Structure 1
């Protein structure tokens, strides 16, 4: 295995993680921003108020984005196992 091959494999892994986790992170970010704007306008300074909507949004996001995420992770895993002979020898 050459260093370029290892870097390419690591790059592919990081890309898969970013594509997989990205939609849920963006959803949590958007909900957190909306809750913070709501807290600023109503002057409610409760720290735990943002957790429940974020958790609910991420769970709903898992329902919608779950098949996409599983497909991406399975494609990456399948690619690793199919090319295992190039990693070892």
Structure 2
């Protein structure tokens, strides 16, 4: 396994990781920011007020994005299997 193959594989792994986890992270940060803004305005400091909306939003995001996530993961797996002979050498 050469340095180029390792570099290409690690780039593909990190790209796939960011593509799969990115939407959920963005939704969680956006909801967290909105809830924090709401808490700052109303001066309500309740832990469940920050936790529950984020969990619900991330769950809905995963539910909505699941077909796309599956396509990205299947594409990554197929690329990995196609390049397997190069990795074994």
TM-score normalized by structure 2? 0.95
TM-aligned CA deviation for residue 4 of structure 1: 1.6
Equivalent in the alignment of 2:63:
63
Equivalent in the alignment of 1:83:
83
Gaps of 5+ in 2: none
Aligned residues: 89
Equivalent in the alignment of 1:15:
15
- Taking the aligned partners of 1:46 and 1:52, their CA distance within structure 2 comes to 11
- Taking the aligned partners of 2:48 and 2:4, their CA distance within structure 1 comes to 46
- Taking the aligned partners of 1:17 and 1:70, their CA distance within structure 2 comes to 12
TM-aligned CA deviation for residue 51 of structure 1: 0.6
Which consecutive segments of 4 or more residues in structure 1 shift more than 6 A?
A: none
Equivalent in the alignment of 1:37:
37
- Taking the aligned partners of 1:54 and 1:47, their CA distance within structure 2 comes to 11
Residue aligned with 1:29, SS: helix
Instruction: Give the superposed CA RMSD.
Output: 0.9
The answer to whether the Cα contact below 8 Å between 2:27 and 2:58 also exists between their aligned partners in 1 is yes
- Taking the aligned partners of 2:25 and 2:66, their CA distance within structure 1 comes to 13
